[in-house]
Structure 1
Amino acid sequence: MLQIELQNVAPIPRPGDVGAQAVAIRVGGDQAAFWGCGFFGAQDTLHDDRGRHYFKDCYIQGSIDFIFGNGKSFYENCQLNSMANPVPAGVKSINGAVTANGRASMDENSGFAFVNCSLGGTGRIWLGRAWRPFSRVVFAYTFMSDIVAPEGWNDFNDPMRDQTIFYGEYMCTGGGANTTLRLPYIQRLNDTQASPYLNVSFIDADQWLQPYT
């Protein structure tokens, strides 16, 4: 397996810019795995489109929705770096988001799980936006710097999605991991609830994933 870096050098867009998406890679096949790879871009860096995927020890950089799509993917020990424009002191506006998961119905067996990752960089960001109404993302054992907004997540300005999205956090640390001011629909997972998302069984790894040596 090759360890590669993929980059899209399009400029960092402002929130709300139209046509600013600039994908560095699209992963649309089932049973794809990446070890120690780098993905660099701004808006929509990594299109985790569909299928089961494994990312380990990867570096993923972007500004808005920089991991998006409808894959069923497990991110382990990855470094997530926001390059959203810095926010002046005292300003509370949000100018970035890590994920935009595209799960569109409860029948779709997809979603993103981030375990033992780290999240830092610049800007003021959400952990995810509900691009589709059944969006599903979990962060566990992840360090989050204080660039994460206190509310943590965004329902894509559609309150109807609050009843169907699944956004969970479990045993995360750092200045951005305080869940006190999280929005009401956020799941503060207990051990039992978090268990399905904590290892590679989330992506049925016993059926296909081979160890990287």
Structure 2
Amino acid sequence: MRRRSFLALPAAAAVLPAPRRTRLTVALDGTGDHTSLQAAIDAVPAGEPAVIGIRPGTYLGQVIIPAAKPLIELRGLGRSPSDVVIADNRANGTLKPDGTPWGTSGSASVTVDGAGLRVTGLTFANLFDEAAHPEITNRQAVAVLTRADKLVFDRVRFLGNQDTLYVNGGRNYFRDCYVEGDVDFIFGRATAAFERCHIHSLNRGSTPNGYVTAPSTLRTNPYGLLFHRSRFTSDAPDGTVFLGRPWHPSQDPEAIGQTIIRESWIGAHIPAAPWTDFGVWPWEEARFAEYRNAGPGATITADRPQLTDEEARTYTVDAALRGADGWNPCG
């Protein structure tokens, strides 16, 4: 009897069918499957991967991607990200029908609870008009709130004023994106890596003119907000915008915020002392650092902690996103 070698190839296995993937198109003029993004998301079977193409236009109304709808891909079908706009216009202090305020999280134009979301080539915006609503003092108006893991945003614009981008859970990767706002407009406790992004601070006509980041990274998380080879610009006067301040939600002492900016270009709107306190919480107790930045706002002073070369090898985009499962959205 001939003995079979353990190195011999097995008989051809049956080819398994590719997992089902829902494909939908959203168009304002009714030529697609749905006229709103929320309707398309609602139509995706729970747990089933989906690709949703969105034709040019401005789509108004809150959008929620629930935890039961992971692995959704949103594709803007315009020539540029500005052709497809997903937007809403409420703030923290805007009142619900029951007379209570929406709050910061409730103000989000888009809330992402579904893991594995991928977005390419479109714009998310919160269109809340501060000047038109002087009666509203709580003006936090979120464009996107993320609360899920393994999220990828590629060539996406995020537009707002205060609290534009609320990254509050999991690992988030932003590549070639544009983020615009004034006060704490990139904030939260998530691990969020920004690569080749354009970060633009609006001129709100006051001093200080604003704060780019407000991280609330938990002490146990080694990675918070990381900006690599990005560009920080503004129309505000020189030296009037801070790079960040440490946010402690509900005065949580375990929120030891981290913002690291490396190998990036920083404009003159950033002062020589770029970090500042947040209420009673001093910036020196947060995890703020820079590494090999350039530009008129990147001068090295005693108030600007710098990573050593050895530390810089630890704080890379790959390392921040890898996690225990080896996730690599950068490849």
The TM-score bracket by the shorter chain reads 0.7 to 0.9
Q: Give CA deviations for 1:188-212 in whole Å, capped at 9, x if unaligned.
A: 1111112222332211177233457
Shift in Å at residue 18 of structure 1? 3.7
Contact map agreement 1:48 1:69 (CA 8 A) in 2: yes
Structure with more contact order per residue of length (Cα contacts < 8 Å, sep ≥ 6): 1
- For 1:125, the equivalent position in structure 2 comes to 241
**Which AA in structure 2 matches 1:37?**
V
**Cα distance, 1:86 vs structure 2:** 4.5
Residue by residue over 1:77-113, the C-alpha shift from the partner in whole angstroms, topping out at 9 and shown as x without a partner, is 00001113246xxxxx312011000124x22344111
Any idea what the Cα deviations from partners look like across 1:126-184, whole Å, max 9, x if unmatched?
1111112511110001100000122101121435552x31100000011111122x52x
Indicate the SS of the match to 2:314.
helix
Aligned pairs for 1:97-108 within 5 A: 97-104=211-218, 106-108=219-221
Provide, for residues 41-74 of structure 1, a one-character-per-residue CA deviation record: whole Å limited to 9, x for no partner: 0000001111111000000001111101100011
Structure-1 residue corresponding to 2:6 = none
2:325 matches 1:194 = no
Q: Equivalent residue of 1:203, what SS?
A: helix
Contact 2:276 2:282 in 1 (8 A): no
**What is the number of equivalent residue pairs in this alignment?**
199
Larger Rg: 2
Is 2:298 aligned against 1:177?
yes
AA aligned opposite 2:299? N
Q: Which residue in the other structure is 1:90 paired with?
A: none
Partner of 1:77: 196
In the alignment, which residue of structure 2 is the partner of 1:204?
322
Q: Distance in 2 between matches of 1:63 and 1:72?
A: 21
Q: Is 2:269 the counterpart of 1:147?
A: yes
Distance 2:225 2:216 in 1: 10
Aligned counterpart for 1:165 among listed residues 277, 280, 286: 286
Q: Match for 2:220: what amino acid?
A: D
Specify the SS of the correspondent of 2:180.
strand
Distance, in Å, in 2 between the alignment partners of 1:96 and 1:134 is: 21
Q: In structure 2, do the counterparts of structure 1 residues 122 and 136 end up closer, same or farther at CA, with 3 Å as the change threshold? A: same
Q: Which residue of 2 aligns with 1:115?
A: 228
* 2:321–2:328 CA contact under 8 A, matched in 1: no
TM-score, normalised to structure 2, is 0.56
Unaligned regions of 5+ residues in structure 1, if any?
88-92
- Whether the aligned pair in 2 keeps the contact of 1:44 and 1:65 (CA below 8 Å) is yes
- For the pair 1:46 / 2:177, whether they are aligned, the reply is no
Q: Look up the match of 2:154.
A: 35
Q: 1:122: how far off?
A: 2.2
CA gap 1:21/1:155 in 2 versus in 1, 3 angstroms: same
Structure 2 CA distance for aligned equivalents of residues 173 and 86 of structure 1: 26
**TM-score between the two structures when normalised by the length of structure 1:** 0.85
Give 1:165's aligned amino acid.
A
Q: Are the equivalent residues in 2 in contact too, given 1:114–1:138 (CA < 8 A)?
A: yes
- What RMSD over aligned residues (CA atoms) do the two structures have, in Å? 2.1
